[in-house]
Chains A and B, each alone.
Chain A
Amino acid sequence: MSRTMISHHMPALRLAVFTAVMLATGGALATPAAADAGYGFPTVPPAPGPAPKLSVPTPFAQILPNGLQVISVLRAGMPLVTAQLVLRSGGEMDPPQLAGLADLTANLLTKGAVGKTAPQIAAAAETLGGSLTAAAGWDESAVGITVTTPKLPQALGLLAEVVRQPDFSADELKRAQAQAVDDLHLMLSRPTALASLAASRGVFGDGAYGHSRSGTPTSIARISRADVQQLHARLYRPDNAILILTGDITPAQAQQLAQTSFGDWQKPSAPLPQRPVGTTASRMPALLLIDQHGAGQAGVVAAHAAPPRNSADYYVGTVANAVLGGSYSARLNEEIRIKRGLSYGANSRLQALGDAGMWLASAQTKNPSAPQVVDLMLGEFKRLGGSKVDAQELAARKATLIGGYGRSLETTAGLAEEVGELAVYGVKLGEIGKYIEQVQAVTPKQIQAYAHRHLDADGSKVVVVGDAAQFGDAIRKRHPQAVLMESTALDLDSPDLQPVVGSGTTR
């Protein structure tokens, strides 16, 4: 919380990755000619000068004898370094019925290690000027800190302790469980957050990406200390890890610091566990309405299955998403917000994961407008396959993507994130400099073909969470197949959200 600054629009979700040169799309502007009589103030915007060059820093990678991959990217200028220890495993490794285990394990790393208590670890990190943050994503778990250059050796020492020798004390587990359950209640009270969770079930079914990565109140309660210790033993090992150092640091310094902090981390003899299957067939209805009584708005989401990160379609999908909902000026926001005033913001993202992926479009709107937003969203998915994207629109959305990518590389934390994503999915690090040509190469024809392949209306999963008394009948009139559930009756641990036994009310 801080002073109330209210923005024109929410920052768009940051999209995919990579760049090299800023584009000059001078054609978008008229040449300056006419001027208002009297003032000499031009009546058309001045045209741009020649495009400047962006220099993308080069990542430097090495592998220690124990299998730890060390990646550094030098960006001098500010005396800052971001250090991230990334594991190539995350929430997809949660065992059945233990949703949230990987995230809880990451969270517990900093809550006691090598004789230091949780408060002592927090104090040590914060005395260095940063804070140790740890969480599990899909396909990765990460612990990181950003500090000034002189504090880096101490920060890495601390990072190594919490990653390699966490205590996982029973007291801390209990505390973390109680906090996680309260966090979940908070999250699930937000309509779009709940709708997104339900839509993930619709796309991934009972597959590894289908459950709630932060767990559910019931799954969190089931987790034992032994579960946490076993997950740590299986996944937190040097040959499953990447150390990323970005900022004011040379490759030689990175190598030496990595060796000091992680060089004697032993690699276990057991093979690395296999990544489970990401998707199974879903039994969720194509259109699900969840009644959250008294909700101030309805959260509307529409999802589709997407190809994984390493598919040949990745850049086509990235550009297609930029057209559909990747920025303020993209189609969803244009139709839902700018033209009709139905929402503060509508957007989409493409989540391309190791073994599967998901498209997710979302918007919050006043409850009575939910039916209209559902149809607008579905209409925009359909339009991507129905006609070719106009050349000027495509050039604009590519420029947005490329510009955003370039800016993401301006901070040490942004650099670490981009490099980390490449490394986790085994993409060659040199791709960091090829983004622009990959994005530029995507054609309208490819986007249309992609939409036919992956965004067919039959495959869409729509979820609306809100005060259903204000939209339920109207939606079911247009979509008779829509199913209504009470938010209090959902079982988020179940692949179809229906309680296995008990009193779920499905009408």
Chain B
Amino acid sequence: MTKRLRPAVLLASLTLFAALSPPLAATELSIPPIQYHQRILPNGLQVISVEDHASPNVAVQMWYHVGSKDDPEGRSGFAHLFEHLMFKSTKHMHAEQMDRLTEDVGGANNASTGDDVTNYFEIVPSNYLQTLLWAEAERLSNLNVDEPNFKSERAVVEEEYRQSVLANPYGKLFNAIDPYSYTVHPYKRPTIGSIEDLEAASLQNVIDFHNTFYRPDNATLIVAGDFDPKQLDAWVDQYFGWIPKPATPIPQVTAQEPVRKKNLSYTVTSATAPLPAVAITWLIPPAADSADIVPLQVAAALLSQGDSSRLYQSLVYRHQIAQQVGVDADGRAGPGLFTAYAILASGHQPAEAEKLLHEEIIWLATQPIPAAELDKVKTQLLTEELRQRQTAQGIAFALGQASLIDGGAEHVNTDLAALQKVTEADVHRVLQKYVTGAHSVTIDYLPQAAGKGAAK
């Protein structure tokens, strides 16, 4: 990528912040640290808890250190399919009994699967804490899915694939990002998998996967909200303490994603997308490398958070070539991605967006960043964090992310302190190292021709 001077018109965005009166320093916004308690049971189960009586609810979350990167060979999408099956029968619970213990008593539950982790989360009136601890211990130790439930839930997951990939006009683009961005690492398999691989999965795969990954030394229990800490510890010991730790080691992904040697481009087409789009990715270090990841998050916010961000101002507002833009510093347990994308405005093509995306990123990586603009994104990110921490569930999610992906529970507090200290030099350094000085993968997304428009 060649560095080039940027047209004078682009300078306008800088005056947006240079002209503001001296900003209120973002550092005046102090977020009180989350006071969490952490312990590890003899069988290896990690337990993190935060007592908070702001509401009469308690969040119970089980995070397993297993994700789509651990899908068995030829079974892409399996970790996610498995997650669905955890809501089916166990030795002592019938199918959907988790819903009876949550929704039916005024709570809620859900679960999600990512590249690195699978989390199961409930929020219930706090008098149901004991019940839910029992239920989570039960499905960790006693899963017992039958064939009819397996098949009907697999059909649900196939509908989820159709809904998120096929029926979503940009689903095929976002689903193509990982397969094209990684060459070796199992992150290259999309979390949702493929219909073919889902169809190949068997009940025996389910049993094997549970035995391999669903074990106390591969899990983190997080409890936040209205509870008594002593009582919590006693219940956790009672329901989880007996579960044996298997003697076998937990399989670990050891694949090393090689440094990219050149820029690569791909094209994906869609029968239903009304407008073209483009996504560009670069490899970034694991999320635990907070010295680099936090400045990359600041760079992503400078580029795309809010209507005053640089890419919105350039591509959407001034040049009007894009309808939507976004940048994400997607930190993972392994190598992550710095991703920039644009959905184009009518009459414009991916090449126009690519040119401006690159120009803006190079400019950010090399030119002075007004102090007011840097303070703006810190205030945005801190305010966002405060909003998340209003609920017990939000606090528990922040701890899960910190503990399983960002390098340890302490990151829930230290990464915010690191955010406050990010400088212009930090942003320049990480962008030059991982983005402008490295190689990109570009995916053009094109509507198929043939006059298949939407309703007028």
Closest to B12 in A: A119
Q: Which 9 A-B pairs have the closest CB atoms?
A: A296-B166, A403-B106, A341-B155, A129-B383, A52-B56, A294-B271, A122-B307, A396-B104, A297-B167
Residues of B within 8 A of A6 (CB): 80, 112-114, 160, 164, 191-192
Cα–Cα, bound, A367→B356 (Å) = 39
Chain B interface size range: 35 or more
Residues of B within 8 A of A407 (CB): 55, 57, 108, 123, 391
Which one of A22, A43, A179 has the greatest number of beta carbons of chain B within 10 Å?
A22
Which one of A39, A50, A341, A396 has the greatest number of beta carbons of chain B within 10 Å?
A341
Asked whether, in the complex, the Cβ of B165 is within 8 Å of the Cβ of A22, the reply is no
In the assembled complex, 19 residue pairs joining A and B whose CB atoms fall closer than 8 Å, in A order, are: A7-B111, A7-B112, A8-B83, A22-B56, A24-B127, A41-B242, A52-B125, A79-B386, A119-B307, A127-B308, A131-B307, A185-B274, A189-B274, A294-B271, A296-B165, A296-B272, A338-B152, A487-B454, A491-B455
Asked whether, in the complex, the Cβ of A297 is within 8 Å of the Cβ of B110, the reply is no
Asked whether, in the complex, the Cβ of B455 is within 8 Å of the Cβ of A194, the reply is yes
Interface flags for B328-362 (1: CB within 8 Å of A; 0: not) read 10101000000101010110000000000000000
Closest to B343 in A: A186
Residues of A322-365 contacting chain B, CB below 8 A: 327-329, 337-344, 364-365
Instruction: Pick from B29, B100, B126, B239: contact of A41, CB below 8 A.
Output: B239
Residues of A within 8 A of B343 (CB): 186
Residues of B163-192 contacting chain A, CB below 8 A: 163-169, 171, 174, 178, 190-192
Residues of B within 8 A of A186 (CB): 169, 274-275, 323, 343
Closest to B166 in A: A296
Distance to closest chain A CB from B346 (angstroms): 6
Asked whether, in the complex, the Cβ of A8 is within 8 Å of the Cβ of B456, the reply is no
Q: Does A191 contact B (CB under 8 A)?
A: yes
Asked whether, in the complex, the Cβ of A80 is within 8 Å of the Cβ of B386, the reply is yes
Q: Does A86 contact B (CB under 8 A)?
A: no
Interface flags for A173-211 (1: CB within 8 Å of B; 0: not) read 001001101110110111100100000000000000000
Asked whether, in the complex, the Cβ of A49 is within 8 Å of the Cβ of B159, the reply is no
Q: Does B54 contact A (CB under 8 A)?
A: yes
Residues of B within 8 A of A338 (CB): 96, 152
Closest to A77 in B: B54
Interface flags for A1-32 (1: CB within 8 Å of B; 0: not) read 11111111101000000000011110011000
Distance to closest chain A CB from B327 (angstroms): 9
Residues of A within 8 A of B110 (CB): 7-9, 11
Asked whether, in the complex, the Cβ of B92 is within 8 Å of the Cβ of A179, the reply is no
Asked whether, in the complex, the Cβ of A491 is within 8 Å of the Cβ of B386, the reply is no
Distance to closest chain A CB from B94 (angstroms): 11
Q: Does A410 contact B (CB under 8 A)?
A: yes
Q: Does B156 contact A (CB under 8 A)?
A: yes
Residues of B within 8 A of A126 (CB): 305-309, 376, 380
Distance to closest chain B CB from A82 (angstroms): 9
Count of chain A residues with Cβ under 8 Å from any Cβ of B? 110
Q: List chain B positions with a Cβ less than 8 A from chain A.
A: 12-13, 16-17, 20, 23-24, 28-29, 54-57, 68, 80, 83-84, 87, 91-93, 96, 99-101, 103-115, 123, 125-128, 130-131, 134-135, 137-138, 141, 151-156, 158-160, 162-169, 171, 174, 178, 190-192, 226, 238-239, 242, 271-275, 305-309, 312-313, 316-317, 320, 323, 326, 328, 330, 332, 339, 341, 343, 345-346, 372, 375-376, 379-380, 382-383, 386-387, 389-391, 451-456
Asked whether, in the complex, the Cβ of B456 is within 8 Å of the Cβ of A2, the reply is no
Asked whether, in the complex, the Cβ of B114 is within 8 Å of the Cβ of A1, the reply is no
Asked whether, in the complex, the Cβ of B307 is within 8 Å of the Cβ of A118, the reply is yes
Distance to closest chain A CB from B392 (angstroms): 8
Q: Does A411 contact B (CB under 8 A)?
A: yes
Asked whether, in the complex, the Cβ of A45 is within 8 Å of the Cβ of B390, the reply is no
Distance to closest chain A CB from B111 (angstroms): 4
Cα–Cα, bound, A43→B168 (Å) = 43
Distance to closest chain B CB from A45 (angstroms): 5
Knowing A4-B192, A329-B103, A329-B104 touch, does A344 contact B454 (C-beta < 8 A)?
Answer: no
Asked whether, in the complex, the Cβ of B29 is within 8 Å of the Cβ of A411, the reply is no
Interface flags for A271-312 (1: CB within 8 Å of B; 0: not) read 000000000000000000010111111010000000000000
Cα–Cα, bound, A78→B456 (Å) = 46
Cα–Cα, bound, A80→B394 (Å) = 15
Asked whether, in the complex, the Cβ of A5 is within 8 Å of the Cβ of B113, the reply is yes
